[in-house]
Amino acid sequence: MKRNKILLVSLMLLGSVAAVQSCSDEFVDVKPSESMTIDDLDKFNNNDGATYFVNSIYAKFLDWDMSTFAWIGVTSIISDDADKGSTVGDNGSDKNLLDALDITATTPSFKELFTSNYQGINRANQALKYIPQLDKADAELRKRLTGEAKFLRAFMYFTLVRSFGGVPMVDRVPVLGNEEDKKMQLSRVSKEEIYAFIEKDLKDAIESLPNKSVYSGNNIGRASVGAAHALLAKVYLYQKKWQLAAEQCDLVTGYSLTPNFIDIYKVSGENNAESIFEIQGSGADAGRAIKQYSQVQGVRGSGGWGWGFATPTQGLYDAYTAEGDTERRDATIIHRDMTLYDGRYIPKTVENKFYNYKAYSSAFYDKENTDTNIRYLRYAEVLLIKAEAANELGQTSTAITLLNQVRERAKINPTTATSQADVRTAIWKERRLELAFEHDRWFDLVRTGQAPAAMAADGGKVFKVGKHELFPLPYEFIMESGGLSQQNPGY
């Protein structure tokens, strides 16, 4: 094979006439601490080499800019589930602005969200370009790895389209100096086109991925066919393609609810029978970890161990209490004068009243890195997606049965809702209580039309209809696009 120099090109073309290379532009990152120069593709023409390309995509999800401070801000702090937290004088760069819904195109978290996902997409595009050329690698492995890359690319585009609406569709490795590729990187396409691209990637992934049970050892946690079906169901849900969403849920098989809710979020509960897809954080001692995810949200102050950002709101706490949902509440929210599952006591002296229990790491609570996995797709959510879709299709009795499965595990009474409208509201509320701090609340508020009322109830914040449904595209991107892309309305 001829020699190849692979450039990991960031979408952000900041301050240059050509694509700016990422900070590791000559490397495929396998772990945050290791990288490999690619100046000869023959070196990668084996099973390990093919795997490295896809591992580099997974590795991006461990980064601070992808999964930590900005992501927590734009999914939790901005919503009615979390306040900024920390201390009054600690704004966390822009977390005070997100909390107040005072956001603009120069709010830093949106640039991090945008750029990090496109960096991950570029890694996926690298994998999809070069893995087919590795003819000495096992054919079945290459097929599976291609499916994983397409799943992860779809996952990142789903984040982008929910956040910004239409975005550039970068579906290949850009060639430096190629005007068509530059235009591709700088031109938004419609959200409908992005959704269609996501659907195609997931359908392709379904044809290539194995069942979760096939994975063992170091491969546990990789994307599976169940994950692809579940994500596709969620993608259809956001587009109100109810029948298609329900059909995909029916194809998510081999999973079950964890009997005790709190066990899901212990290290011992990672990748368990309920888990469909998680970002794997095995801790600093294992050489890879999600950068400071637990520390940023950890208990702050005397007797604490973290920064104390993204603190649960009183409104969220009260929503559990009103349902008699104390077991699930106390597995989601840490409060003062509380003993955690591992015996750690939270004294009355800590800074904030509440903290995110789902981000807690028993073994790594005082370290920058964390062994905590981020739970992104669980079987409980599949049940709730199916319930919502069934209800919208007029199958309300089926929806009630599915909803009550989730409530039964939470050890609360069956729903009293019977009408389609009341069941719809009950499902939306159940999503909040079941999935709190799993990075969906803001997007749920927007897609269901609950955001104006929810924001008003959360300290009188003003959700501007016609504006706040989407985040602003980063100012730098709009300037660099030179008119090829227009800003979202209202910014």
Residue 410 lies in a domain: no
Question: pTM of this prediction?
Answer: 0.92
**Mean pLDDT within 119-147:** 97
Q: Say what percent of the chain tops pLDDT 70.
A: 89
Q: Report if residue 393 sits inside a domain.
A: no
Beta strands in 268-319 (DSSP E): 275-279, 290-291, 309-312
> Is the distance from CB of 363 to CB of 283 less than 8 angstroms?
yes
365: DSSP letter: T
Per-residue model confidence as pLDDT tens digits over 381-433: 999 999 999 999 999 999 999 999 999 999 999 999 999 999 999 999 999 99
pLDDT (0 to 100) of residue 41: 86
Q: Looking at residue 365, what is its pLDDT?
A: 57
Is the domain of 137 the same as that of 51?
yes
Structural domain total, the chain? 2
Q: Which candidate, 65, 70, 86, 103, places its Cα nearest to that of 310?
A: 86
479 & 363 share domain: no
**Residue 488 is part of a domain; what is its CATH number?**
1.25.40.890
Average pLDDT score over the chain: 90
From residue 349, give the alpha-carbon distance in Å to each of 103, 142, 340, 383: 33, 54, 16, 40
The per-residue pLDDT for 14 is: 30
| CA 143 – CA 130 distance, rounded (Å) | 12
Give Cβ neighbours of residue 184 (< 8 Å, ≥ 6 apart): 168, 169, 170, 171, 172, 174
Distance of CA 204 to the CA centre of its chain: 21
Query: Which residues make Cβ contacts (< 8 Å) with residue 216, sequence separation at least 6?
Result: none
From 322, 350, 372, the end of a domain falls on: 372
Say yes or no: 179 and 69 in one domain.
yes
Same domain, 181 and 51: yes
Q: Within a domain: residue 6?
A: yes
Confidence of residue 364 (pLDDT cuts 50, 70, 90): low
Higher per-residue pLDDT: 278 or 42: 278
Per-residue pLDDT at 13 exceeds 70: no
Residue 365, domain extent = 284-372
pLDDT at 415: 98
* pLDDT of the residue at 97: 98
Q: Radius of gyration of the chain from Cα atoms? A: 22
Q: Are 85 and 352 in contact, with CB atoms under 8 Å apart?
A: yes
Q: Are 131 and 145 in contact (CB under 8 A)?
A: yes
| pLDDT of 98 strictly over 60 | yes
> Of residues 283 and 61, which shows the higher confidence score?
61
Query: Cα(335)–Cα(441) distance, rounded to whole angstroms?
Result: 21
Mean of the pLDDT values across residues 215-239?
Answer: 97
**Closest Cα to residue 319, out of 80, 76, 79, 83?**
80
When pLDDT is averaged across residues 201-230 and rounded to a whole number, the result is 97
Confidence bin at 30 (pLDDT 50/70/90): very low
Return the amino acid letter for 239.
Q
DSSP letter assigned to residue 416: -
Tell which of 324, 340, 372 closes a domain.
372
Tokens of 209: 């991925």
Does 325 score more than 70 pLDDT?
Answer: yes
Burial class (CB in 10 A: 0-12, 13-18, 19+), 166: buried
- Please compute the mean of the pLDDT values over residues 256-281 and round it to a whole number: 95
- pLDDT of 38 reads 56
- How many helices, marked H, and strands, marked E, lie in the chain? 19, 12
